[in-house]
Amino acid sequence: MDSRKIDRLSSLPRDAIKADEPDRKFIEALARGLDVLRAFQPGDGFLGNQEIAKRTGLPKSSVSRLTYTLTKLGYLGYSERIEKYQLGSGVLALGYAYTSNLAIRQVAKPLMQDLANNTGTAVGVADRDRLKMIYLEHCSPANVMTFSHDVGDRIPMIPSAVGCAYLAALPRNEREYFCHYVEKRNPEKWPELEAFIQANVSEFHQQGFCSCFGEWDKDVNGVAVPLVLGNQIYTFNAGGPAYRLSPDYLKNEVAPQLKNLVRNIEATLARH
């Protein structure tokens, strides 16, 4: 398997990793500790060991040892009063170091804000986090009430325009690899999800963008365009409330500007 493919597939869910041949370099205990940290979602606040075990699929006895260790290291905080955990400052430090060192955020943000103001859409850039997309930056139009995300928010890879844009930018064999695990986790919905993916991949190859009009959230419409930088794929999206942003407006007015934004960012980064 191509080493670049391994890099992109290396952060699939652990059940995907286990499906392959055992990797002697893979440290199971470390992976489990990171699974515990990933169990926390925006807005969660405190979680108990039982809830963490349910979300991760790990034994509660293992979760108890992992949360104790992560608390000692500063990656979790513990409330004795309610006997639950929340993310600690150690995680914040790691996240800040990651986002602050991303050149793409520094280059993209002013262009994204201009696009948001000019089109009345919320504009974001996302990276993949397992089978979800995580926002690295997000801009809302000035003086317009619109749908928005915060940095760090995660949404499903499928069905979303930003996730399909990521899949569309992959070589076909890698896209099929990802789709296999989406199907594995959503067997009942897979025929509908597969049709959504195929339609978006076709749309991307024909028009250069992907779209989602109510499939992820019935009240949200959006379009997305991928940016490929070496082995890294970022996806940019623009959208907002369906009652205000029609599919025709997003396809005919916003998508061309979003594609131009991506080309400008790519050209700027190429010069650095």
The sign of the torsion formed by the CA atoms of 116, 243, 212, 187 equals: positive
pLDDT in tens, 182-241: 898 889 999 999 999 999 999 999 999 999 999 988 999 999 999 998 888 999 999 999
What pLDDT does residue 154 have? 84
Torsion 133-135-139-144 (CA) sign: positive
pLDDT in the model for residue 25: 81
Q: Does 31 score more than 70 pLDDT?
A: yes
In this prediction the pTM is 0.74
Given a cut of 80, whether residue 245 has pLDDT beyond it is: yes
Q: Which residue has the tokens 């407006």?
A: 249
CATH code for the domain defined by 3-93:
1.10.10.10
Domain edges within the chain = 3-93, 102-270
Give the integer Cα–Cα distance in Å for 74 and 108: 32
Give the strands of the sheet with 232-241, arranged side by side: 154-156, 132-139, 122-129, 232-241, 220-229, 210-213
**Tell me: the pLDDT tens digits for 110-124?**
999 999 999 999 999
CATH code reported for the domain at 102-270: 3.30.450.40
